[in-house]
Amino acid sequence: MISLTPEQVAERFGRMFSRGLLTLIDEKAGVAEIIEECCARGPVEWDLVNRLRAGGAVYTGWVDGTTLVMRARLGSFEVKFGPADFSRGGQALEAVEVKNDKVYTRWAGVAGAGVGVAACLAQAPGVVKAVYPSEDDLVKVGGRYVNHVILETLKYEKLIFAVDNTDVKDKGATWASTLKAASMLCEKYKGMKLLAHRIFQAYPGVPWKTTNNVAVSLSFAVPAGVEVRQVVKDLVEILRGFCYSEEACAVAYGGIVVPRELREFAWRVKSGMVELSEALELAERYGVEVVEITGRMGVIGALAALALYDAGLEYAALKDDPALARVGRVEES
């Protein structure tokens, strides 16, 4: 075993292209979320399809710009690995293990994909150290060679927080208030990272809505040692200064995977009206914390925004929105 810091990896191979590696753990679901940032989109697109084809720990993922997000199972798994073809992937995630406050991910790559894991990802910000099982994994990199490396990173938890009904018809904007609040929260806690701010479009026919009837979800990476409940309390206190409605309500959930019944509820919030009592019952059943900021009616939109926090572009769209049919690259004739 040969252990190197990211700086030592960079000295050996030169400064490369990874811009970050972050590992979040949901132990109750047995799931990890691994977030990689690159300087370009091409490498993460190729990496994702090859890792999924190879099997192993990764079971789904997506690319957002130059960022790759993967969901992986905790444990060690067989991979279908080798030069890329229809039955194998040229790169694979073989294992994800958690020990105390550290996460250990085991990677394999062949040819250029070997360079990707052994030389590039191993020096990403967020890596504590890279461990090479043999000298060949460090010396014979690229070309026809196969490389393996174990990357040690810090363990983070995911906090999903959502809020609705912060504004009134003539004052306030939920999307702006939540961005300000999230920025202030991350300044308060060292190591806290805002992963996403998303605007959820609810059913526009609700008679008590403000103008657009949107809620907002925020997802955070919370470092080990930081108490999630205290983070929620602090975020709510910050938001109190931005709430003008008498029905502002927030919800919070610690984890990566949201229960299916909550997601089904959220889709119904997009297409019609639902009862306040149903939202409160579902929140209690699935351990979602409900925090009344100035009232409780906002729990409906907030719970829906939380439940679909990782959905696609339809999150921001109306139900059956004609705009979605025009999304994407269209070849002009």
Does 180 map to a domain?
yes
Does 304 map to a domain?
yes
Q: Quote the tokens at residue 69.
A: 């997000």
- Say which residue the tokens 């890329």 belong to: 84
Taking phi first (over 0 means left), then psi (-120 to 50 degrees means alpha), and beta for anything else, what does residue 117 get? alpha
Answer yes or no: do 174 and 136 share one domain: no
Answer yes or no: do 29 and 173 share one domain: no
Residue 122 exposure: Cα atoms within 13 Å on the Cβ side: 34
Give the pLDDT confidence score for residue 34 in this predicted structure: 98
Burial class (CB in 10 A: 0-12, 13-18, 19+), 255: buried
Answer yes or no: do 149 and 169 share one domain: no
Instruction: Name, in order, each residue with C-beta under 8 angstroms of 120's C-beta and a sequence gap of 6 or more.
Output: 13, 16, 17, 18, 43
What are the angstrom distances between the C-alpha of 284 and each of 253, 270, 288, 326? Answer: 11, 21, 6, 39
Answer yes or no: do 21 and 108 share one domain: yes
Answer yes or no: do 171 and 274 share one domain: yes
Does 97 map to a domain?
yes
Does 297 map to a domain?
yes
Give the pLDDT confidence score for residue 48 in this predicted structure: 97
Q: Quote the tokens at residue 281.
A: 């019952």
CATH number where 252 lies: 3.30.70.2200
Answer yes or no: do 179 and 83 share one domain: no
d(CA 117, CA 210): 49
Domain with 45, as residue range(s), is: 2-156
Does 17 map to a domain?
yes
Residue 156 neighbours by CB distance under 10 Å: 26
Give the pLDDT confidence score for residue 54 in this predicted structure: 96
Answer yes or no: do 54 and 18 share one domain: yes
Answer yes or no: do 115 and 49 share one domain: yes
Domain's final residue, options 129, 156, 183? 156
Domain's final residue, options 105, 133, 156? 156
Give the pLDDT confidence score for residue 212 in this predicted structure: 79
Does 41 map to a domain?
yes
d(CA 331, CA 329): 7
Name beta bridge partners: 76. Answer: 95
Answer yes or no: do 183 and 235 share one domain: yes
What are the angstrom distances between the C-alpha of 35 and each of 38, 143, 153, 223, 259? Answer: 10, 27, 12, 15, 22
Torsion of CA 216, 286, 192, 188, to 10 degrees: 80
E-strand ranges in the chain read 2-4, 18-26, 31-38, 58-64, 67-73, 75-76, 91-99, 102-110, 127-132, 146-164, 193-201, 214-223, 249-254, 289-292
E-strand ranges in 53-167 read 58-64, 67-73, 75-76, 91-99, 102-110, 127-132, 146-164
Give the pLDDT confidence score for residue 294 in this predicted structure: 86
What are the angstrom distances between the C-alpha of 137 and each of 99, 125, 142, 177, 280? Answer: 24, 21, 10, 49, 54
d(CA 131, CA 198): 37
Residue 217 neighbours by CB distance under 10 Å: 27
pTM across the whole model: 0.93
Does 328 map to a domain?
no
From first to last of its 333 residues, the chain has per-residue pLDDT tens of 899 999 999 999 999 999 999 999 999 999 999 999 999 999 999 999 999 999 999 999 999 999 999 999 999 999 999 888 998 999 999 999 999 999 999 999 999 888 999 999 999 999 999 999 998 888 888 888 899 999 999 999 999 999 998 766 767 788 889 999 999 999 999 999 999 999 999 988 877 767 778 999 999 999 999 999 999 999 999 999 888 778 889 999 999 999 999 999 999 999 999 999 999 999 999 999 999 998 888 999 999 999 999 999 999 999 999 999 989 866 665
Answer yes or no: do 280 and 228 share one domain: yes
The total number of structural domains that make up the chain = 2
Domain's final residue, options 137, 156, 175? 156
Give the pLDDT confidence score for residue 330 in this predicted structure: 65
